[in-house]
Amino acid sequence: MKYKIIGDNLQMLRVELAAGEGLFAEAGSMVNMSGHIQMESQMAGGIFAGTKRILIGESFFLTKFVPIEKHGFVAFAGNVLGKIFPVHLSNGSEFVGRRESFLCCEEGIVLDITFAKKVQSGLFGGAGFILQNMSGNGTVFLHCCGDIVEINLKDNEMIKVQTGLVVGFDSTVSYDIALAGGITSIIFGGEGLFVTTLTGPGKVILQSMDIAKIAASIIPYLPKPKEITGKK
Protein backbone atom coordinates (compact mmCIF):
# COMPACT_ATOMS: atom_id res chain seq x y z
CA MET A 1 0.00 0.00 0.00
CA LYS A 2 1.15 3.51 -0.88
CA TYR A 3 -0.67 6.65 0.16
CA LYS A 4 -0.63 10.40 -0.30
CA ILE A 5 -2.43 13.03 1.76
CA ILE A 6 -3.57 15.78 -0.59
CA GLY A 7 -4.35 19.39 0.35
CA ASP A 8 -3.81 21.61 3.35
CA ASN A 9 -6.80 22.02 5.67
CA LEU A 10 -9.41 20.41 3.41
CA GLN A 11 -7.51 17.20 2.97
CA MET A 12 -8.14 14.06 0.96
CA LEU A 13 -6.37 10.72 1.27
CA ARG A 14 -5.39 8.83 -1.90
CA VAL A 15 -4.36 5.18 -1.40
CA GLU A 16 -2.78 2.99 -4.07
CA LEU A 17 -3.45 -0.73 -3.65
CA ALA A 18 -1.89 -3.74 -5.31
CA ALA A 19 -4.15 -6.31 -6.97
CA GLY A 20 -6.03 -8.21 -4.26
CA GLU A 21 -4.91 -5.87 -1.48
CA GLY A 22 -7.81 -4.77 0.71
CA LEU A 23 -8.68 -1.62 2.64
CA PHE A 24 -11.57 -1.03 5.06
CA ALA A 25 -13.21 2.39 5.29
CA GLU A 26 -16.05 4.10 7.09
CA ALA A 27 -19.23 3.97 4.97
CA GLY A 28 -19.71 7.09 2.85
CA SER A 29 -16.10 8.34 3.08
CA MET A 30 -15.04 7.38 -0.47
CA VAL A 31 -14.47 10.32 -2.86
CA ASN A 32 -13.33 8.56 -6.05
CA MET A 33 -11.58 5.37 -7.17
CA SER A 34 -10.30 3.39 -10.12
CA GLY A 35 -12.99 1.82 -12.29
CA HIS A 36 -11.87 -1.74 -11.55
CA ILE A 37 -11.96 -1.38 -7.75
CA GLN A 38 -14.43 -3.79 -6.17
CA MET A 39 -16.44 -2.16 -3.37
CA GLU A 40 -18.39 -4.31 -0.91
CA SER A 41 -20.03 -3.59 2.44
CA GLN A 42 -18.91 -6.08 5.05
CA MET A 43 -19.65 -6.74 8.69
CA ALA A 44 -15.95 -6.86 9.59
CA GLY A 45 -15.50 -8.91 12.75
CA GLY A 46 -19.08 -10.21 12.80
CA ILE A 47 -22.33 -8.99 14.36
CA PHE A 48 -20.74 -8.27 17.74
CA ALA A 49 -18.05 -6.06 16.19
CA GLY A 50 -20.69 -4.24 14.11
CA THR A 51 -22.80 -3.60 17.19
CA LYS A 52 -19.80 -2.15 18.99
CA ARG A 53 -19.14 0.18 16.05
CA ILE A 54 -22.68 1.52 16.41
CA LEU A 55 -21.94 2.27 20.08
CA ILE A 56 -19.04 4.54 19.09
CA GLY A 57 -21.10 6.38 16.47
CA GLU A 58 -19.73 4.55 13.41
CA SER A 59 -21.70 2.54 10.84
CA PHE A 60 -22.67 -1.11 11.39
CA PHE A 61 -20.91 -2.09 8.15
CA LEU A 62 -17.48 -1.14 6.86
CA THR A 63 -16.82 -0.84 3.14
CA LYS A 64 -14.00 -2.96 1.74
CA PHE A 65 -12.13 -1.79 -1.37
CA VAL A 66 -10.10 -4.28 -3.43
CA PRO A 67 -8.57 -3.76 -6.91
CA ILE A 68 -9.22 -6.68 -9.26
CA GLU A 69 -6.42 -8.09 -11.47
CA LYS A 70 -4.25 -4.95 -11.36
CA HIS A 71 -3.31 -2.15 -8.97
CA GLY A 72 -5.67 0.78 -8.49
CA PHE A 73 -6.41 3.73 -6.24
CA VAL A 74 -9.18 4.91 -3.95
CA ALA A 75 -9.52 8.31 -2.29
CA PHE A 76 -11.26 9.29 0.94
CA ALA A 77 -12.19 12.47 2.80
CA GLY A 78 -13.37 13.17 6.34
CA ASN A 79 -16.69 14.73 7.34
CA VAL A 80 -15.20 17.85 8.97
CA LEU A 81 -12.87 20.61 7.81
CA GLY A 82 -9.48 19.47 8.97
CA LYS A 83 -6.52 17.15 8.65
CA ILE A 84 -5.99 13.46 7.91
CA PHE A 85 -3.09 11.63 9.54
CA PRO A 86 -1.75 8.05 9.70
CA VAL A 87 -1.15 5.95 12.80
CA HIS A 88 1.24 3.02 12.30
CA LEU A 89 0.66 0.05 14.59
CA SER A 90 2.77 -3.08 15.09
CA ASN A 91 3.97 -5.58 17.70
CA GLY A 92 0.97 -5.23 19.98
CA SER A 93 0.84 -1.43 20.05
CA GLU A 94 -2.58 0.14 20.56
CA PHE A 95 -4.04 3.56 19.89
CA VAL A 96 -7.21 5.00 21.43
CA GLY A 97 -9.22 7.55 19.44
CA ARG A 98 -12.39 9.59 19.79
CA ARG A 99 -15.43 7.91 18.31
CA GLU A 100 -15.80 9.84 15.06
CA SER A 101 -12.10 10.04 14.12
CA PHE A 102 -11.81 6.79 12.11
CA LEU A 103 -11.50 7.10 8.32
CA CYS A 104 -9.98 3.88 6.93
CA CYS A 105 -7.41 1.17 7.69
CA GLU A 106 -5.48 -1.77 6.31
CA GLU A 107 -6.86 -5.28 6.75
CA GLY A 108 -4.37 -6.04 9.55
CA ILE A 109 -5.94 -3.47 11.88
CA VAL A 110 -8.39 -4.63 14.55
CA LEU A 111 -11.08 -2.11 15.51
CA ASP A 112 -12.65 -2.41 18.94
CA ILE A 113 -14.07 -0.23 21.70
CA THR A 114 -12.78 0.74 25.12
CA PHE A 115 -14.35 2.68 27.97
CA ALA A 116 -13.23 5.73 29.92
CA LYS A 117 -11.83 4.33 33.17
CA LYS A 118 -13.48 6.98 35.33
CA VAL A 119 -17.10 8.18 35.27
CA GLN A 120 -16.11 11.84 35.43
CA SER A 121 -13.77 11.40 32.46
CA GLY A 122 -16.59 10.00 30.37
CA LEU A 123 -19.01 12.74 31.43
CA PHE A 124 -16.74 15.78 31.14
CA GLY A 125 -13.63 14.73 29.19
CA GLY A 126 -15.09 15.67 25.81
CA ALA A 127 -14.71 12.26 24.14
CA GLY A 128 -17.50 10.36 25.91
CA PHE A 129 -17.57 7.08 27.83
CA ILE A 130 -16.89 4.93 24.77
CA LEU A 131 -13.67 5.33 22.81
CA GLN A 132 -12.33 3.50 19.77
CA ASN A 133 -9.43 1.12 20.31
CA MET A 134 -7.17 0.28 17.35
CA SER A 135 -4.58 -2.51 17.39
CA GLY A 136 -2.91 -5.06 15.11
CA ASN A 137 -0.35 -4.59 12.36
CA GLY A 138 -0.73 -1.93 9.70
CA THR A 139 -1.79 1.66 9.20
CA VAL A 140 -5.02 3.31 10.27
CA PHE A 141 -5.99 6.78 9.02
CA LEU A 142 -7.80 9.21 11.29
CA HIS A 143 -9.17 12.70 10.66
CA CYS A 144 -9.61 15.70 12.92
CA CYS A 145 -11.12 19.17 12.93
CA GLY A 146 -8.71 22.01 12.13
CA ASP A 147 -4.96 21.45 12.48
CA ILE A 148 -3.09 18.63 14.19
CA VAL A 149 -0.93 18.98 17.28
CA GLU A 150 1.24 15.95 18.09
CA ILE A 151 2.87 15.70 21.51
CA ASN A 152 5.14 12.95 22.82
CA LEU A 153 4.78 12.78 26.59
CA LYS A 154 7.51 11.45 28.83
CA ASP A 155 6.85 9.19 31.80
CA ASN A 156 4.51 10.99 34.26
CA GLU A 157 4.52 14.16 32.13
CA MET A 158 1.02 15.69 32.06
CA ILE A 159 -0.71 18.20 29.83
CA LYS A 160 -4.09 19.89 30.28
CA VAL A 161 -6.29 20.23 27.20
CA GLN A 162 -9.57 21.99 26.55
CA THR A 163 -12.33 19.37 26.44
CA GLY A 164 -13.28 18.34 22.91
CA LEU A 165 -9.80 18.78 21.43
CA VAL A 166 -8.38 15.31 22.09
CA VAL A 167 -8.33 13.15 18.93
CA GLY A 168 -6.41 10.15 20.24
CA PHE A 169 -3.50 8.82 22.26
CA ASP A 170 -1.36 5.72 22.81
CA SER A 171 -2.93 3.18 25.14
CA THR A 172 -0.07 3.87 27.59
CA VAL A 173 -1.40 7.41 28.18
CA SER A 174 -3.72 8.03 31.15
CA TYR A 175 -6.89 10.00 30.33
CA ASP A 176 -8.68 11.99 33.04
CA ILE A 177 -10.14 15.43 33.88
CA ALA A 178 -9.35 18.22 36.33
CA LEU A 179 -10.98 21.47 37.41
CA ALA A 180 -10.10 24.31 35.07
CA GLY A 181 -8.94 26.52 37.95
CA GLY A 182 -10.30 28.51 40.85
CA ILE A 183 -13.84 29.88 41.15
CA THR A 184 -12.93 33.13 39.43
CA SER A 185 -11.29 31.33 36.51
CA ILE A 186 -14.23 28.95 36.14
CA ILE A 187 -16.80 31.77 36.10
CA PHE A 188 -14.94 34.37 34.08
CA GLY A 189 -12.14 32.50 32.30
CA GLY A 190 -14.30 31.13 29.49
CA GLU A 191 -12.58 27.73 29.54
CA GLY A 192 -15.43 25.83 31.17
CA LEU A 193 -15.57 23.88 34.43
CA PHE A 194 -13.14 21.08 33.49
CA VAL A 195 -10.09 20.45 31.35
CA THR A 196 -8.93 17.07 30.05
CA THR A 197 -5.65 15.75 31.49
CA LEU A 198 -3.33 13.38 29.64
CA THR A 199 -0.38 11.78 31.45
CA GLY A 200 2.48 9.96 29.70
CA PRO A 201 4.32 8.08 28.56
CA GLY A 202 3.06 8.03 24.99
CA LYS A 203 1.95 10.01 21.97
CA VAL A 204 -1.04 12.35 22.06
CA ILE A 205 -2.86 13.80 19.02
CA LEU A 206 -4.87 16.98 19.51
CA GLN A 207 -7.04 19.00 17.13
CA SER A 208 -7.08 22.79 17.03
CA MET A 209 -10.86 23.14 16.69
CA ASP A 210 -13.95 21.58 18.28
CA ILE A 211 -16.75 20.90 15.77
CA ALA A 212 -19.37 21.30 18.53
CA LYS A 213 -18.16 24.83 19.29
CA ILE A 214 -18.02 25.66 15.58
CA ALA A 215 -21.65 24.57 15.21
CA ALA A 216 -22.68 26.57 18.28
CA SER A 217 -20.99 29.71 16.93
CA ILE A 218 -22.92 29.43 13.64
CA ILE A 219 -26.38 28.97 15.17
CA PRO A 220 -26.96 32.69 15.97
CA TYR A 221 -26.44 33.55 12.30
CA LEU A 222 -28.85 30.95 10.90
CA PRO A 223 -32.19 32.32 9.64
CA LYS A 224 -35.09 31.87 12.00
CA PRO A 225 -38.09 29.75 10.86
CA LYS A 226 -40.16 32.93 10.32
CA GLU A 227 -37.40 34.40 8.14
CA ILE A 228 -37.36 31.26 5.97
CA THR A 229 -41.15 31.13 5.46
CA GLY A 230 -41.59 34.90 5.26
CA LYS A 231 -44.28 34.85 7.93
CA LYS A 232 -44.46 37.41 10.69
Rounded to an integer, what distance in angstroms lies between the CA atom of residue 227 and that of residue 231? 7
- How far apart CA 78 and CA 103 sit, in angstroms, is 7
Is 8 strand, coil or helix? coil
pLDDT, tens digit (0-9, with 9 covering 90-100), for 69-93: 999 999 999 888 899 999 999 988 9
Radius of gyration for the chain, computed over Cα atoms and rounded to the nearest angstrom: 20
Distance CA 170, CA 202 (A): 5
- Residues 143 and 190 sit within 8 Å (Cβ to Cβ): no
Note the CATH architecture for domain 2-220: 4-Layer Sandwich (3.60)
pTM for the full model?
A: 0.81
Specify the pairing of strand 2-6 against strand 23-26.
unpaired
Residue range 210-221: mean pLDDT, rounded: 83
Q: Do 178 and 193 meet the contact criterion of CB atoms below 8 Å apart?
A: no
Count of positions (residues) in the chain: 232
Query: CB-based contacts of 78: which residues, under 8 Å, 6+ apart?
Result: 11, 29, 84, 103, 143, 144
Q: What is the pLDDT of residues 110-155, one digit of tens each?
A: 888 887 655 444 444 444 557 888 999 999 999 999 999 999 999 9
Interatomic CA distance for residues 172 and 132, integer angstroms: 15
Give residue-wise pLDDT tens across range 164-183: 899 999 999 998 888 765 55
Domain ranges across the chain: 2-220
